[in-house]
Structures are given as structure tokens and as C-alpha cells.
Amino acid sequence: MSRSKHAASRWLYLVVALVLIAVDQFTKNLAIATLKPGIGYPVIGELLSWRLIYNDSAAFSLGFGQTWILAVLAAAATLATIWFSGRITSRSWAVMAGTFLAGVVGNLIDRLIREPSFGNGHVVDFIQIPFNFPVFNLADIFIVSMATLTVIRVFRGENLGGVAPRKK
């Protein structure tokens, strides 16, 4: 592995994370500015609606309302992802890690700075789909989709350089 390939992957990881954190926070602030809490605004018929809620639970409104515990777990996941990123040499892994980090940090920011208080803030959720699925946000999408792709790639045997072992 060359240093330039490692450095390029590291920069890509950082750029992806920063851009997606900004997009996540922008969409949450836009939802707060334009939506009334609890009211559904159809976007694509019954398939997609905007519904602003303030969530003190985990992703997709799952959990137990212990926001400070979730903030600590998110901080730990952030540190683990940053550590993990130092081993990445593949652009695709860099994009995935940056996207996952953006999701974790996006919701962590809410828990730290939003009401009711520092460390106990509620996450802004505003995307609603049918089938009694919980309301969620872009950060939730980033976390779940990248965790799923990571599991798939690990089961395929891909290393952090994006290479799967050759079958004999």
C-alpha cells in the first residue's frame, strides 16, 4: 500500500463525513423551520411524508428514552470509526466509513445541542414511510445502510483495501 493511496482514502473519508454531516444538519434545520411537530405532510402520496418529531430514543425511535446513554454510545462509535478509518486504503471503504460516521455524528450533534439540554437533546426525525415504520432522518439512513453494507462486505471476506480473497 502506498502512502498516497492511504492519504487519498483518508481525505475522501473526511470529505464524505463532513459533507454528509452538513446535509443531515441542514435537512433537520429545514424540517424544524418549515414543519409543525406531529403533522404529516404528504410528499409522494401515502408512500412518503414529512412528519417532524423530536426523538429521545435510538435510531428509528427504538430504545428507551435514555438520551445521555445514547450520546455516550454515539461518542464511542465515533471514536471507533475514526480509529478504524486509519486502516482504510480503499475508496469504497472510505466512502462507507465516512457515511457511517456522518450518521453517528449527525445524531450525536442533536443529542448534544438540541433541547431540552446538553447531552439530553432530542434527535430531529422527519421522514415517514407507511407500514407503521418509525419516523427517521438522513443520519439514520446513513447508519443502517452502511452497517448493512459493512456486514455484507465482511461476510464476502473483503479487507479494508476492498479486496476479497481469491477462491482456489
pTM for the full model? 0.86
Among residues 24, 56, 110, 140, the one annotated as catalytic is 140
The partner residues of 50 in beta bridges, in order of sequence, read 41, 127
Concerning whether 24 is annotated as a catalytic residue, the answer is no
What's the pLDDT score for residue 152?
A: 93
What's the pLDDT score for residue 164?
A: 60
Answer whether 10's CB lies under 8 Å from 94's CB: yes
Could you tell me the residue ranges of all domains in the chain?
3-155
SS3 at position 123: strand
Among residues 24, 56, 110, 125, the one annotated as catalytic is 125
Concerning whether 125 is annotated as a catalytic residue, the answer is yes
CA 142 to chain centre: 4
The torsion region of residue 158 among left (phi > 0), alpha (psi -120 to 50) and beta comes to beta
pLDDT tens, per residue, the chain with 168 residues? 466 777 888 899 999 999 999 999 999 999 999 999 999 999 999 899 999 999 887 655 566 667 778 788 888 988 998 888 888 888 999 999 999 999 999 999 999 999 988 878 899 999 999 988 899 999 999 999 999 999 999 888 887 776 666 665
What's the pLDDT score for residue 2?
A: 62
3-state secondary structure 52-114: EEEECCCHHHCCCCCHHHHHHHHHHHHHHHHHHHCCCCCHHHHHHHHHHHHHHHHHHHHHHHC
